[in-house]
Structure 1
Amino acid sequence: MRAAFLPGGSRVDLRDVPEPAPGHGQVLVGMRASTICGSDLRAIYREHLGEGPEAYQGVVGGHEPAGRVVAVGEGVERVSVGDRVVVYHISGCGQCDECRRGYQISCTAAGRAAYGWQRDGGHADLLLAEERDLLALPDELTFLDGAVVACGFGTAYEALCRTGVSGRDRALVVGLGPVGLAAGLLAKAMGATTVVGTDPSAERRALALELGAVDHAVGGTDEELDALLGDGAEVSVDCSGNGRGQLTALRHTRRWGRAALVGEGGQLTVDVSEVLIHRQLTVHGSWVTSTVRMAELLHNLVRWDLHPERLVTSTFLLDDAAQAYRTADAGAGGKVGVVWPDAV
C-alpha cells in the first residue's frame, strides 16, 4: 500500500509499505479522509522540532483520520467491518486516570503514542488502530467531517465547553486558521450572540467572513477591538499560538470573563496583576479534547446541521500529498485534506 512520511525539510516521502494486520483489540481502517493539522507543519513537516509527546518517530504521517473498518482482530467487540469511524489521534495506556477519563492526550505512560507522530497515521491506504481509539461517525456526517473533528474541531469544542460559552456571551477568537474558524462556527452554534475574529492575514479574515465563522474580522489592534467589544468579550479563545495574540485575547476579555489558550507555541509575557488578577479572569489551558467530549461533539454536529468540512478549501489524492502539504504550509486558505476516490 502507499503511505506518506515526513522526513523534514518541508518534504513528503511517498513509499510502498506492507499492509498491516490487526492483532488483539485492533482494527484495520480503510482510509477515506485524512486532513493536515498546523501541528504537523510546525513540528514535523518543516523540521523535526518536537520532544516528548511531539517527538516524530519516522512513522506514516497524519493524525486526523476517518475511514471505514475493513478488518478486526480478536477481542474486538464494539466495532464491526463496514463501520464508519473517526480515529482519536492519541493511543494511551488505557489504565491511568487521564485515560480512564477519556483524556488520552494527557497520558504520561511510556507507551503513549500519537497516530502520525509515534505510530503510523492516516496518510496511508490502511491504518492500524486500537479499538478503544475509535469513535462512531454518524451517517449524516461525511468522512471529511470526521477527519476535521479528529483534532481541530474537537480542540475548539473542548475550549468552548471549558469556558461555558452560551447565549449570554460575545466571543473573541484570536487567530483565524482552521482551529480558529472551528471555534467561531462552534461558538455560534453554542449560542454566542456575536463572534469577533482577529488575524493579521487579510485572506484568512475574508475566509472567516465568507464561511460565517465570525460576524466581524479585524487585524487585531486595540482600537479595532475596543470599537467592537467595548470593555471586552465575555469569552475569548486564542488559536494563534503567538505571544502577542495570546495577550490580545486576555486583554480583550471582559472583567470576570473566561479565556482559553489553545494555540500551541509562543511565549507569553503578561502583567499578571493588571491583566489577570485585578480583572478577575478565569484562564484555561486547553489541550485537544477527550474521547467522551469528541463523541458528544459528533452527535451535536448532527443536531446543529453543522458540517466541519466547510473549513476544507483544498483536497488532494494521496499521490499528491506533497502538494497538499505545500498548500497547507502556505497558510492562505482553510483546512487541507488528503482523500481517497471512494470516500463515501
Structure 2
Amino acid sequence: MRAAVFTDYGEPLDVREVDDPEPDPDGAVVAVEACGVCRSDWHAWQGDWDWRGLDPVPGHVLGHEPAGHVLKVGEEVERVSEGDHVAVPFNLGDGSCHRCKTGHSNICENRQALGLQPDAPGAFAEQVPVPHADHNLVKLPEGVSSTEMAGLGCRFMTAFHGLAHRADLGAGDWFVVHGCGGVGLSAVQIATALGANVVGVDLVEEKLDFAE
C-alpha cells in the first residue's frame, strides 16, 4: 500500500510503498477513505511533544482521524465485519480495563495514541490497523460520508465531551468561546445545536466570519 511516511522533524512526508498491515486476532484493518489533518499531527511532525513520549521515528506514519470501510478482521472479532463503514478514534482502548468498561476509553490504562506512538501506526495511508476492533471501531450511520467523519475528528469529540458531558450545556445557557480555531469553531457549532446563546471571541476577523 501507499503511505505518507515521516522522515524527520519538519521535513516533507515521503509517499512510498510500504507493507500492507495484517489484523491482530482481535483487531481489524480499515481501508482509509479520508483522514483529517490535526494540529496534533503538526506538533508531532515538528517534534514538539517528545517530552510526552509522542515523538515519531523515521518510517512512522502519522494521522489519527480516519474513516473508511473494514477490509480485514481477526478471527476473534465479533461486532464488526468486513465492509462495515467505520470511524477510528484517536485514543485506542483495550476494552478490558475499568476506564474502558465505564465509557472512558480515551483514558484507558493501556491506551495507544493512533499515529503518534511507534506501536500505533497512523492513517496517512491506504490502510490502517486497529487493535481491539470490537471496542474501538465505531460504525457510521447511513448518510455520513468518510470525508464528513474525518472532518469531525478529534476536534469535535473534544468539544462535545467538554460541553455536553462535563459542562452540561443546554438551551438558554450563555456560552463564550475564546479562540475560534478548530476546537473553538466545533464548540460554536455544538453549543448552537444544544440551544445555547453563543459568543465567539477572536483577534482574527476571518475566524469570526467562520464562527458566524
Shared topology, TM-score over 0.5? yes
Cα distance in structure 2, aligned partners of 1:100 and 1:10: 40
Question: Per the alignment, do residues 52 and 95 of structure 1 end up closer, same or farther by CA in structure 2, a change over 3 Å counting?
Answer: farther
CA distance in structure 2 between the aligned counterparts of 1:158 and 1:173, rounded to whole angstroms: 15
Quote how far apart the aligned CAs of 1:148 are. 2.9
SS of residue in 2 equivalent to 1:98 = helix
Who is 2:4 aligned against? 4
Instruction: Provide, for residues 212-270 of structure 1, a one-character-per-residue CA deviation record: whole Å limited to 9, x for no partner.
Output: xxxxxxxxxxxxxxxxxxxxxxxxxxxxxxxxxxxxxxxxxxxxxxxxxxxxxxxxxxx
Name the CA shift for 1:156/1:180 in 2 (closer, same or farther; >3 Å). Answer: same
Residues 1-344 of structure 1: pairs in structure 2 closer than 5 A: 1-6=1-6, 7-9=8-10, 11-41=12-42, 43-52=43-52, 54-58=54-58, 59-109=60-110, 112-118=111-117, 119-130=120-131, 131=133, 132-161=135-164, 162-192=166-196, 194-209=197-212
Distance (whole Å) between structure 1 residues aligned to residue 50 and residue 191 of structure 2: 31
Per-residue deviation, 1:57: 4.7
**Bigger share in helix:** 1
Deviation at 1:121, TM superposition (A): 1.1
| In 2: Cα distance, 1:142 partner to 1:117 partner | 25
Does the 8 A contact of 1:3 with 1:14 survive in 2?
yes
Q: Determine if contact 1:64/1:147 at 8 Å carries over to the other structure.
A: yes
1:15-58 C-alpha deviation (Å, 9 max, x unpaired) = 210111112011111111100111222x2122343333634355
Question: Structure 1 residues 179 and 93, CA, compared in 2 at 3 Å: closer, same or farther?
Answer: same
2:47, 2:55 within 8 Å by CA — same for their partners in 1? no
**Alignment deviations for residues 243-302 of structure 1 (CA, whole Å, 9 cap, x no partner):** xxxxxxxxxxxxxxxxxxxxxxxxxxxxxxxxxxxxxxxxxxxxxxxxxxxxxxxxxxxx
3-state SS in 2 of match to 1:31: strand
Amino acid in structure 2 at the alignment position of 1:195: V
1:258 maps to which residue?
Answer: none
Q: Aligned letter for 2:129?
A: L
CA contact (8 A) 1:57 1:117 kept: no
Moved over 6 A (4+): none
**By how many angstroms is 1:141 displaced?**
1.1
Give unmatched runs, 5+ long, in structure 2: none
Please state how far the C-alpha of 1:8 moved relative to its aligned partner: 1.5
CA RMSD across the alignment:
1.8
* SS in structure 2 of the partner of residue 127 of structure 1: strand
Gaps of 5+ in 1: 210-344
Deviation for aligned residue 1:99: 2.1
Conservation of the 8 A alpha-carbon contact between 1:173 and 1:195: yes
Which segment is superposed worse, 78-87 or 100-109?
100-109
2: CA distance, partners of 1:184 / 1:18: 41
Q: CA deviation at 1:184?
A: 0.5
Counterpart contact for 1:11–1:45, Cα < 8 Å: no
CA–CA distance in 1 between the matches of 2:53 and 2:191? 29
> Which amino acid is 1:164 matched to?
D
CA distance in 2, matches of 1:149, 1:101: 24
Identity of aligned residues (%): 37
Q: Aligned-pair distance for 1:140?
A: 1.7
Flag the structure with larger Rg: 1
